[in-house]
Amino acid sequence: MGTTHRTFLWSLVFLCFGLSQAAMAQNQPLKPGQTWTYHGATPVSSRVIIGAVDNLEGESQPILSISVSDAPIPNDGKQLQTIPHLPVAADVLRESLVELEGVRPIPDGFDHGYSQWRQAYD
């Protein structure tokens, strides 16, 4: 496994299972379109964009569907890609979020990934 892949995998580990809690992320309501910095982002330009918030029956907390921009996944000569859809438990994501930067459009490809996930989940 190359260095880029290891870096990417560790970034996702920190994203999903962040070690410290940010007070702002703990108190801020999470809404679609929000763009956040996160612990362990590699490269530092990588961001989490919230695409959807689902309160699903039988789940103890919301499930957030996110995109990750500037993820280091080499593809066709491009080193940075956008991961269009990842479902994450709200409490797990909150532990990794650092700062709300604002609101931006949800990335292309999110809707397709989200609808496939909802079909499989439902």
pLDDT at 20: 42
**Distance (Å, whole) CA 31 – CA 51:** 8
Q: Six-digit token pair at 50? A: 């919230």
Q: Residue 15 CB: number of other CB atoms within 10 A? A: 25
Question: Would 97 be classed as within a structural domain?
Answer: yes
Residues contacting residue 74 through CB under 8 Å, at least 6 positions apart: 4
Question: Would 113 be classed as within a structural domain?
Answer: no
Question: Would 24 be classed as within a structural domain?
Answer: yes
Question: Would 43 be classed as within a structural domain?
Answer: yes
Q: Six-digit token pair at 95? A: 């532990």
* Per-residue pLDDT in tens (0 to 9) along the chain, 122 residues: 555 555 665 666 556 544 444 455 677 899 999 999 999 888 999 999 999 999 988 888 999 999 999 988 877 777 888 999 999 999 999 999 999 999 999 999 999 999 999 999 88
Question: Would 13 be classed as within a structural domain?
Answer: yes
Domain that holds residue 75: 3-107
Question: Would 71 be classed as within a structural domain?
Answer: yes
